[in-house]
Amino acid sequence: MEIRCHIIHSLAIALSPESAPYLLEQVVNDPDPRILSLNADLVSYDETITNFLREKEISFIRTGLGLLIDTFLVSNAGMVKAMNAHGCGRMQLNILVLQQNLKNIETNVNLDRAGKFFDLFTAGPDAIVKHAKEEKESGNGAKELFSFEELKMLVELCYSEQLASPERGISTVAKRGMGEHSLQLSEYMWES
């Protein structure tokens, strides 16, 4: 429980707009310091449990850490409030750094869902709607990759930079575009 609570706390701080803004003026080539700190804590914790616990207990503690991080980053992306392309690049770098570190702790771990989620941000709101449409049309009965709420939150993030603009015209156009894409998204996601 301790390591899982620590992961949730660290990721919540990393997603917080007060501590880690994702509206960036330029490309950032360094991951968020909180992510680096989380990685160091995970390695330290893993070394401790490896020294004091048996393999069965170690496996029990390690299993699911990647899934927790992957799910948290997608489900709580709305905590970011505002993001632009440079901020998304930083988020993708954070995901990559976390994934590389987790591979040393948990076997077969990947953060593909979070990676794909923020790839959709980079592709834009039209791509998000297209993804929802394609997922609905595939109709293979499998669980959807992203829920309606998650995709709606992603559309809102796509427009967050324009909505935060002090210029009223930009904000108004963004609200209209966000409304149109949200409506299209709901049509594809709720069709039966």
- Residue 158 scores a pLDDT above 60: yes
What tokens does 118 get? 């923020």
Nearby residues of 5 by Cβ (< 8 Å), 6 or more positions away: none
Average pLDDT over residues 104-114: 92
Domain ranges of the chain: 1-123, 124-192
- The answer to whether 11 and 68 have CB atoms below 8 angstroms apart is no
The per-residue pLDDT for 191 is 58
DSSP string, the chain: -HHHHHHHHHHHHHH-TTTS-B--SS---S--HHHHHHHHHHHHHHHHHHHHS-HHHHHHHHTTHHHHHHHHHHHTGGGG--B-HHHHHHHHHHHHHHHHHHTTTSTT---HHHHHHHHHHHH-HHHHHHHHHHHHHH--SPPPSS-HHHHHHHHHHHHHHHHT-SSHHHHHHHHHHHHHHHHHHHHHHH--
Mean pLDDT over 91-110 rounds to 94
Q: What is the pLDDT of residues 116-150, one digit of tens each?
A: 999 999 999 999 999 988 887 876 545 668 999 99
Q: How far apart are CA 69 and CA 46, in angstroms?
A: 16
Q: Which amino acid does the sequence have at 63?
A: T
Q: What is the mean pLDDT of residues 34-41?
A: 96
Q: Per-residue pLDDT averaged across 97-119, rounded?
A: 94
Q: What is the pLDDT of residues 8-31, one digit of tens each?
A: 999 999 998 787 688 888 998 999
Sign of CA dihedral 49, 52, 53, 54: positive
Tens-place pLDDT, residues 60-96: 999 999 999 999 999 999 999 899 999 999 999 999 9
Phi-psi sector, 81: left (phi>0), alpha (psi -120 to 50), beta: left
Q: What is the pLDDT of residue 192?
A: 41
Question: What average pLDDT does this structure show over 50-65?
Answer: 95
How many percent of the chain have pLDDT more than 90?
A: 75
Q: Residue 134 has which token pair?
A: 């394609």
Give Cα 106 distance to the centre of its chain: 19
